[in-house]
Each structure stands twice: as C-alpha cells, then as structure tokens.
Amino acid sequence: MRVVIAGGHGKIALRLERLLAGRGDEPVGLIRNPGHEPDLRETGAQAVVCDLETAGVEEVASHLRGADAAVFAAGAGPGSGAARKDSVDRAGAVLLAEAAERAGVRRFVQVSSMGAGEPPRAGTDDVWAAYIKAKSDAEDDLRARDLEWTIVRPGGLTDDPGTGLVTLAEPGRPRGRVTRDDVAAVIVALLDTPGTRGRTLELVEGDTPVDEAVRAVTS
C-alpha cells in the first residue's frame, strides 16, 4: 500500500512511516524542509518536498497520484500563532483533501484533536481557540467531500513508549492522553479497516489492544 502523509517529518508521521515501511508498505512523506529528508529515509519512507502553505492543488495532486491512501498529520506546531493554525491545520488539510479528490485517492485519514467540533472552553487562549477552530473547520470540509474518510481525534499527546492499549470511540468520551506511538498504530489499523470509513473517532489511552479497538468501532 502506497500512503502519502502530509506533515511527513512530524512526530506522529515519523512513527507511522516506520510502521508502514516495516511491514512492506510504501510511505511517502510530504515535507517543507529538504534537510529533513535523511530522517524520513531512515524510517524507510520516501521524502517529497512540498510546502502545503505555498503549493497549489495540482502540485499536491501530482504527488498523490498512484497512492492507495492519504493521511493528513500536519500541524503548525508549538509556538506558532493563530494565523498558522489556520494556514496549516485548516487550509493544509483542505488542500490535501482537494488534491486527493483530483488524484483519485479515495482513502483519507485525518488527524484532528479532541475538542474539535465544539466551542473552545471558557478562558481558552486565542491561539488554542484558533487551533480548535482550524481543526473543526477542516473536519467539516472533509465530511462534505466524496472521499472514504476517517477522522481520528487524539487526546493530549505524549512521547512515552506506546502500550498498544487504547480507547477508541465516538465523540463524547472523557478527555485523556495518548502516546504518539499508539496514535500511529491506530492510523495503520484504520487504513486497513474499511468499516471505519465515514467515522469520527476519539482516541485516548485505555485497556483494549489497538486492532481489537478498531474492529470494535466497526460493529
């Protein structure tokens, strides 16, 4: 399976690329900085320099053609302001989805965030509010498209070693934390599971093995 991953040098993406390459798939990471290419090669992924903040839809579509799936795992990252939350977390996701439609890549997994889809909590700072709005708007755009999409909303992300045990469920679960290792493993399982198409799922640590948790949300 050839999988194109936006935000290819991100912490989740690097883990996802390693998992996919390790089982014989072909991960392709879209990156802004050519200096990050060696890190992607080390995971077994192909690196493609493509800045979603400046690229046009046809350029992005050219990198998607022939792929089996696309994953949006990009984000403006810590320290960025409200403007970049919009230009990356919303506009970048919209661009990748539009490019996937143009390239004929129907399977699409979007990494969002718990808290999306609802107003920011009282007292939330402006940048966090902009982030949640960007994620919410990107979700709404994706739901309106003729793609086989799955939206996954992780809780607070940690760099702790993955446990392989999660809680994956429809929105409305209590907020929690989850390792980036486990997020990457869940994305792989979602890509493999057709019954998760058209679903918005929240993800936190738990006590259910990843594959079992993904199968459970299809029933």
Given the residues 67, 131, 178, 180, select the one marked as catalytic: 131
Q: What are the beta bridge partners of residue 158?
A: 179
**Residue 169 near residue 202, CB atoms below 8 Å:** yes
CA atoms within a 13 Å half-sphere pointing along the CA-CB vector of 103: 25
Closest listed residue to residue 150, CA positions, set 70, 92, 216, 61: 70
Cα–Cα dist 92/81, whole Å: 15
Residues 6+ apart with CB under 8 A from 216: 168, 208
Beta bridge partners, 202, equal 153, 169
Strands 69-72 and 2-6: parallel
Name 51's Cβ contacts closer than 8 Å, sequence gap at least 6. 32
Q: Which residue carries 């290419």 as its tokens? A: 37
Known catalytic membership, residue 107: no
Tokens of 208: 């259910």
| Cα–Cα distance measured from residue 171 to residue 67, given in angstroms and rounded to the nearest whole number | 29
| Residue type at position 47 | A
Measured between alpha carbons, how far is 104 from 84 in angstroms, rounded to an integer?
A: 28
Catalytic positions: 131
